[in-house]
Amino acid sequence: MRRCSPTCRAPCKLFKPPGITMPGHFFTGNYAPLDTECDIDTLPVHGTLPPQLRGALYRVGPNPRFAPRDERYHWFSGDGMVHAFFLGDGKAAYANRWARTPKWQLEDSAGRALFGTFGNPATSDPAVHGKNSGTANTSMVWHGRRLFALEESHQPFEIDPHTLASRGHQDFGGAVDRRFTAHPKADPATGELHFFSYSPDSPGEPNIQYGVLDAHCRVTTRDAFRAPYASMMHDFMLTERHVLFPVTPLTISVERAMQGLPLFAWEADKRTHVGIGVRGQSMEKLRWFSSDACHVFHVMNAWDDGGRIVAYVMETDTAPGMPNADGSPGDAAGMAARLCRWSFDLESAGDAFERTVLDDLAAEFPRIDERFGGRRNRVGFYCCHSEQRVRGDADSVLYDSLACFDFASGTRQLYTVPAGDVISEPVFVARSAQAPEGDGWLLAVAWRAKEGRSDLLVIDAGELAAGPVATVRLPHRIPFGFHGGWRGGD
């Protein structure tokens, strides 16, 4: 591993351990991890960074420190690397660091990978059996003036917001003893952060834990309930009065795994269930709704509408990137997500809910103006493909466009990057605390395929089709990742 100088302008090397054959497409092109950490004090800016844009954009994604031990390596299981853009006074700086989790430290000391994919003991070195395999690689959240890198199998991993130094997993006074979620939900009115975890005690158990952190990172609520079956529940929904838990047929089965079949797999014969609870009441009183099998990895927003609850989600027919229960590949055509509206009639006697497709483009990574979290939102943003075609597993998440959807008019704006380039999840930053909904900027990282590097794009959210008002140019690339977050201030 090497570290760049503060004035680095050289492209970073690809990660290529000698004598190792990398498994799968997740080690080629811009999926390949970096072997470099660097600090760059000043980045060139094309255009003009808005003077109101002061703070930091953080992004995280898989960046394995060493070549994996097993041929079934999955992209989701790589060590987290945090990338930060610090913006202010029309200038931009950058830094990146691995999240130095206990797993990362053990492997760094050994000089090789010790843990199997997802910590699988069958492919892990016996010396690390039972030890923390957390990767902190999925999302970033700023809460209680603290920065956390999250994934759904371990506790939140704290990062210094200025230096990106690792501060370790946090249990918040022992109240979060094992798992968390990569997608907690903030209530902008109360300052609370709601979270959950699935199978908190042991894999394959249909137990769910639910909790609330107050504005000072103190756990004020802990509750638990049983789901209809054990499911990989990646995201959930929060409104002013309710909390909703989607249980989809992406099942977890230790018995299946012991037979050499996938631990996580799609079972199309099961139904999708959504449990709805009232905030402040016991989750044992959940009301369950159901539908034919469908899946959702990411939720845009949800809100109370009189006697109904409405949610905007990215729905798929089957779970993206996941096999069937017999180990066969999943249906690639059914893995494309689309913006959908789910509507739950709380005054009805039945358990059905309505599902309506709102946009026919394959899309993912939805975001909103977070001041409207849990409230009715007029606009939403997401990545999408500008053309309709079936894509394989490797390029299904390589989006060429950003979309802004106006739910009041049902219209959509698109911004498409040049052919071959790929754009990341858009993070919205309001122009000011008093600005109307959607008045601000979208921040998104773009992979420039021909140049082998990345840019940060700053786009006026109300004029999406016009493209960036400013482009911050990196000398190297940021590997494809998942989610990001914004910290306002100097």
What DSSP string describes 464-490? Answer: GGG-EEEEEEPSS------EEEEEE--
Residue numbers in the known binding site for Fe cation are: 183, 234, 298, 483
Q: Region 369-388: what's the mean pLDDT?
A: 95
pLDDT tops 80 at residue 71:
no
Asked whether residue 308 is domain-assigned, the answer is yes
Q: 304: domain range? A: 173-358
pLDDT tops 70 at residue 99:
yes
Mean of pLDDT over the chain: 92
pLDDT tops 60 at residue 353:
yes
Asked whether residue 18 is domain-assigned, the answer is no
Q: Region 302-327: what's the mean pLDDT?
A: 95
pLDDT tops 60 at residue 8:
no
Q: What is the structure's pLDDT at 143?
A: 98
Asked whether residue 223 is domain-assigned, the answer is yes
Q: What is the structure's pLDDT at 24?
A: 60
Per-residue pLDDT tens digits for 250-274:
999 989 988 888 889 999 999 999 9
Asked whether residue 166 is domain-assigned, the answer is no
pLDDT tops 60 at residue 391:
no
H/E segment holding residue 97: strand 91-98
Rounded Cα–Cα distance for residues 268 and 30 (Å): 32
Rounded Cα–Cα distance for residues 98 and 136 (Å): 9
Q: Read off the DSSP letter of residue 183.
A: -
Q: What is the structure's pLDDT at 340?
A: 98
pLDDT tops 90 at residue 12:
no
Per-residue pLDDT tens digits for 136-148:
999 999 999 999 9
- Per-residue confidence band for 15, with pLDDT thresholds at 50, 70 and 90: very low
Asked whether residue 253 is domain-assigned, the answer is yes
Q: Region 230-254: what's the mean pLDDT?
A: 97
Per-residue pLDDT tens digits for 31-53:
999 999 999 999 999 999 999 99
Q: What is the structure's pLDDT at 177?
A: 84
Residue numbers in the known binding site are: 183, 234, 298, 483
8 A C-beta contact, residue 184 and residue 141: yes
Tokens of 133: 């395999």
pTM exceeds 0.85 for this model: yes
Asked whether residue 29 is domain-assigned, the answer is no
Q: What beta strand segments (E) does 318-370 contain?
A: 338-345, 354-357, 363-367
Q: What is the structure's pLDDT at 388?
A: 67
pLDDT tops 50 at residue 474:
yes
Cα atoms in the 13 Å half-sphere on the side-chain side of 202: 4
Tokens of 136: 């902190």
8 A C-beta contact, residue 169 and residue 146: no
Number of independent structural domains in the chain: 1
Q: What beta strand segments (E) does 287-439 contain?
A: 287-291, 295-305, 308-316, 338-345, 354-357, 363-367, 379-384, 401-406, 411-416, 422-423, 427-430
Q: Region 450-454: what's the mean pLDDT?
A: 97
Rounded Cα–Cα distance for residues 25 and 60 (Å): 20
* Total Cβ atoms within 10 A of residue 11: 14
Asked whether residue 248 is domain-assigned, the answer is yes
Per-residue pLDDT tens digits for 106-134:
999 999 999 988 888 888 999 999 999 99
Asked whether residue 272 is domain-assigned, the answer is yes
Residues linked to residue 95 through DSSP beta bridges, in sequence order = 39, 84
Q: Region 359-379: what's the mean pLDDT?
A: 97
Q: What is the structure's pLDDT at 248?
A: 98
Q: Region 80-87: what's the mean pLDDT?
A: 98
pLDDT tops 70 at residue 55:
yes
